Structure 1
Amino acid sequence: MKLMRMRWHLLGMAFLALSLTTCTKDGRINVFSVQDDINLGQQVRAEIAADPQNYPILPESQYPEAYRYLRGLRDKVLRSNAVDYRGRFEYQVFIINDDNVLNAFATPGGYLYFYTGLIKYLETEDELAGVMGHEIAHSDRRHSTTNLTRVYGVSLMLDVVFGRNTGLLGNIAKQLAGTAAGLSFGRGAEREADEYSVIYLSQTEYQCNGAAGFFEKMLAAQGGGNSAPPRWLSTHPPSDERVRDINTKAQSISCSVSPSGINYQAFKNMLP
């Protein structure tokens, strides 16, 4: 009888834990609330700001025009009605001064980081808008915390129920900021971010398949034997697949693939 009561007690705790979980917009289980995304993103932002050796962020006080430009581009993308949390996430932008890194990344809660190496590698504002849309999608589709749910699972749910490990989010923030590797995603999330980039840009002046430009350039460089793809691309869908899927999505929603013709070099000239 005592064993039976214990089983029912454990079952009740499990149901309580499940009742505290949330779901993403497409029904995926996520033990983090939207507010948790915001809190975790703020902590990751603080960890990154405290680590200038690995993340040499350009100070906005010295590069106000560059930040004004990047925020203007962000605002155009955020006008899309498909960005679910544009009213809740801050979507702050940061520029990391490292010309050797072809990367950008997004934290939970909408903090967006762009390396000068990637900005200078891209050739058009449409391409940067495509990358911007892709990173916004990672935050807005809550890819980080959905991924963390798979890692921590029931253990995290029970910790939430009983109030244990109150510093857990802080520890996760340190891990995410430590290498930014924790902010990389599986192939499904990358494909979804590419798809939503097209959707976001379809409501702007930019060519909606702008995200394909980076991968097309990578393919051209690899075909000529000039460079190897960045390490962070190793777990992503192959570049040729991503170009194909992005263009297929653009065709399916009949959005413009004509270049905007906006002067992108002016932005590059603002950077060190």
Structure 2
Amino acid sequence: MNSIKILNILIVSGILIFSSCKDKNDNFVLPSIEEDVELGAQVAEQIENDPDQFPILDETEYPEAYTYLNNLLDYILTSGEVKYKEEFVWDIHIIENDSVLNAFATPGGYLYVYTGLIKYLDQEDDLMGVLGHEVAHSDLKHTTRNIQRQYGINIILQLITGENPSQLEQIAGQIAGTAAGLSFSRAFEEEADERSVEYLANTPYACNGAYSFFQKLLDEGQTGGTPEFLSTHPDPEDRVEDINVKADEIDCDTTPLAPASYEDFKNMLPQ
């Protein structure tokens, strides 16, 4: 995107932002779709340029794994519930680190899943629940709203135009959960959980797939180590209950599809 186009977008959106009312989470109406995508692209570039911290699997070396993961993502994107299905990039990456139970999303639809999380989950429905949760964070602009709330709109504009590379590095780490700050509020987490149920309700998978990760943590007594991407706000027990209540509320199918191919997917990854 050239500098003149970016400047025009910033001028127009700036007028809209500061003349608008607040949303239910006390954040001003957000930057434009184009700005959200551009911010996500800047963060994604920062992540890609830091292979020591974010060792992303090369898609050309692991084409089967990426094809498999993208097919899962397509179920969510074609559910009819993703608001910015066409506008956002929806670009998914696998980060190689078996010791990390994490996934995260940047603005504009850039998604990241750690090999540790993929291997920890028991079935495909579980991963679908996590993907739905992360798609929701991006589609609902939760990350952009967090950045705006913590740093202000001027920082967002600086990040988009590349004027503040040190701040971009810090924020990329915060989004990925490797640095303190930008944790999602209880309202954002609950909203993402609910949207995950709604996404999966229109797929062959168990619509409450997001609950199983929390349930496994509870069963194993690991709630104190719940990763940033599904933070403990609210408590995992409450989230299990709330996700299942939402599934009952919209009367969607909670029967796991649980295809055997999930083990094949795990075996496609570095061992």
Q: What TM-score do the two structures reach when normalised by structure 1?
A: 0.83
SS of structure 1 residue aligned to 2:59: coil
Question: Residue 146 of structure 2 contacts residue 182 of structure 2 at CA under 8 Å; is this kept in 1?
Answer: no
AA at the equivalent of 2:204:
E
**How big is each residue's C-alpha offset from its partner over 1:204-234, in whole Å with a ceiling of 9 and x where there is no partner?**
0000000001000000010xxx684235255
Choose from 146, 171, 174 the match for 2:169: 174
Instruction: Look up the match of 1:3.
Output: none
**How big is each residue's C-alpha offset from its partner over 1:40-93, in whole Å with a ceiling of 9 and x where there is no partner?**
100111001110100011111111000000000000111122210000101111
Instruction: Look up the match of 1:12.
Output: none
Could you tell which deviates more after superposition, 246-255 or 178-187? 178-187
State the shift of 1:171 in Å: 5.2
Choose from 229, 232, 251 the match for 2:225: 229
**Structure number, greater radius of gyration:** 1
SS of structure 1 residue aligned to 2:107: coil
Describe how 1:162-201 pairs up with structure 2 within 5 A. 166-167=161-162, 172-179=167-174, 180-181=176-177, 184-201=183-200
Instruction: Look up the match of 1:148.
Output: 147
How many Å separate the matches in 2 of 1:58 and 1:166?
28
Describe how 1:59-78 pairs up with structure 2 within 5 A. 59-78=58-77
Matched, 1:250 2:247: yes
Describe how 1:19-34 pairs up with structure 2 within 5 A. 19-21=16-18, 29-34=28-33
Describe how 1:108-127 pairs up with structure 2 within 5 A. 108-127=107-126
Instruction: Look up the match of 1:240.
Output: 237
Which stretches in structure 1 are left out of the alignment for 5+ residues?
1-15
State the shift of 1:31 in Å: 3.8
AA at the equivalent of 1:237:
P
**How big is each residue's C-alpha offset from its partner over 1:96-154, in whole Å with a ceiling of 9 and x where there is no partner?**
0000000000000000000000000000100000000000000000001111221234x
**How big is each residue's C-alpha offset from its partner over 1:224-265, in whole Å with a ceiling of 9 and x where there is no partner?**
xx6842352555211101100000000000000001131211
Root mean square deviation of aligned Cα:
2.8
State the shift of 1:33 in Å: 1.8
Paired residues, what number?
250
Question: Residue 218 of structure 2 contacts residue 237 of structure 2 at CA under 8 Å; is this kept in 1?
Answer: yes
Instruction: Look up the match of 1:265.
Output: 263
Q: What TM-score do the two structures reach when normalised by structure 2?
A: 0.83
AA at the equivalent of 2:51:
P
Question: Residue 91 of structure 1 contacts residue 111 of structure 1 at CA under 8 Å; is this kept in 2?
Answer: yes
Instruction: Look up the match of 1:10.
Output: none
**How big is each residue's C-alpha offset from its partner over 1:145-187, in whole Å with a ceiling of 9 and x where there is no partner?**
111221234x639x96xx9x95457555322223423563111
Percent of pairs identical after alignment?
Answer: 49
SS of structure 1 residue aligned to 2:82: coil
State the shift of 1:202 in Å: 0.2
Runs of 4+ residues deviating >4 angstroms: 21-28, 168-172
How many Å separate the matches in 2 of 1:227 and 1:148?
27
